[in-house]
Structure 1
Amino acid sequence: MPRWEPNAQQRLMRAALDLFTEKGYDATTVNEIADRAGLTKTTFFRHFSDKREVLFAGQDIHRRLLAQAINAAPEAATPLDAVREAIGALAAVFTDDRREFAARLRPIVADHLELRERAALKRTGLVETLAKALEERGVPDLTADLAADLGMRAFDNAFDQWVVPANERSLTDLARRAFDELRAAMAFLHG
């Protein structure tokens, strides 16, 4: 086997998802994932710290995208408008070719407390990234925290719709609609 092969991380992710679907998360080993991907256990650990992390790849990229989009928002943008731009940037990386993977991943995560906890930790990290970027723009802490959490709530709602097999809309479009619904709900609360 060659020392280096292209797309190792993606191959490991696909292999893990296939095995988790076939055998179950608990019954699948790192060795089996590496074997299915045609790679070694050592290669697996170059990319992921454990089998749980193979399902949550890209978090650093997502955090960077969110922070960059907040920083690039116009100076006059409201905190929620800046978050909307950041969520749009994040949604744009979830192209339609990733929808099937995401849809298959959802029930695996839902069925395992350990994975649900990791998903919650990832979400918390994304909210913290948004809030910190807003604070760096001079937004007060509470306002930044609220805008960040509302933005992720809109993203989560859009993502839930995006993975439905019958859905044909992009995650970007669904995220825009979720933000519009969020604004309408806030206006209703305001009275």
Structure 2
Amino acid sequence: MSRWEPNARGRLEQAALALYGERGFEQVTVAEIAGRAGLTERTFFRHYADKREVLFAGASALQEILVGAVEEAPDAAAPMEVVAAALAAVGAMFDERRDLVRQRQAVIAANPELQERELIKLAALATALAGALRDRGVPEPAASLTGQTGIAVFRVAFERWIDDPGRRGLAEVVRESFDELRTLAAGPSV
């Protein structure tokens, strides 16, 4: 094999997701992933610390995008509107990779250890959102409540998007889910 292979990271991700889907996460080795991708184990470990990281490597990029969107929001925007817009802003990133995202979610749904890891990732995102809101001057507990609520709404929207046969964009489903939360919070109309 050559020393440099184009898009090694993407090839490793695709190979891992295909193997996880075929045989289950637990039954797949790093050597098999690298072999399927036409790469070496050493190349695998240059990109990922272990086979779980293939599923979670994008978490820091996602967090950066969310925090950046909160920081760039208009000063007059309400905290929940800021978080809703930040979460909708990541929609295009997911839409571009919809099939891989669906494969990833199926693997995670089939493995309790990976489900736990996903929850930890989501908790970290909620904490990051709360921190970005505090940096905007939102006091506690409002910052934490907004960050946690935003991630809860995002989880629901994400699951709806994964199962959406109409292939609507994630941003649209996120906005729709926040609208439903607003309606629910307003209570019954008289």
Shorter-chain TM-score range: over 0.9
| 1:167-182 equivalence runs, <5 A | 167-182=166-181
For 1:125 and 1:86, locate their aligned partners in 2 and report how far apart those are by CA, in whole Å: 15
Cα deviation for residue 48 of structure 1 reads 1.0
> What is the number of residues matched between the two proteins?
190
Structure 2 contact 94–101 (Cα < 8 Å) conserved: no
Which residues of structure 1 form unaligned runs of 5+? none
Q: Which runs of 5 or more structure 2 residues have no equivalent in the other structure?
A: none
Task: Confirm or deny that 1:103 pairs with 2:107.
Answer: no
Equivalent residue, structure 2, for 1:36: 36
2:79 match: 79
Please name the residue that 2:184 is paired with. 185
Moved over 4 A (4+): none
Report the 3-state secondary structure (helix = DSSP H, G, I; strand = E; otherwise coil) of the residue aligned with 2:26. Answer: coil
Q: Deviations over 1:47-74 (max 9, x none)?
A: 1111111111211110100110000010
The normalised TM-score by structure 1 is 0.94
Q: Percent identity among equivalent residues?
A: 44
1:22 aligns with 2:27: no
1:93-126 superposed Cα distances (whole Å, 9 cap, x missing partner): 112x422222222232122121011101110111
Letter in 2 for 1:5: E
- C-alpha root-mean-square deviation of aligned residues, in Å? 1.7
Corresponding residue number in structure 2 for 1:55: 55
What displacement does 1:44 show?
Answer: 0.9
- Normalization by structure 2: what TM-score? 0.94
User: Letter of the aligned partner of 1:57 in structure 2?
Assistant: A
Amino acid at match of 1:22: E
Residue in 1 that maps onto 2:116: 117
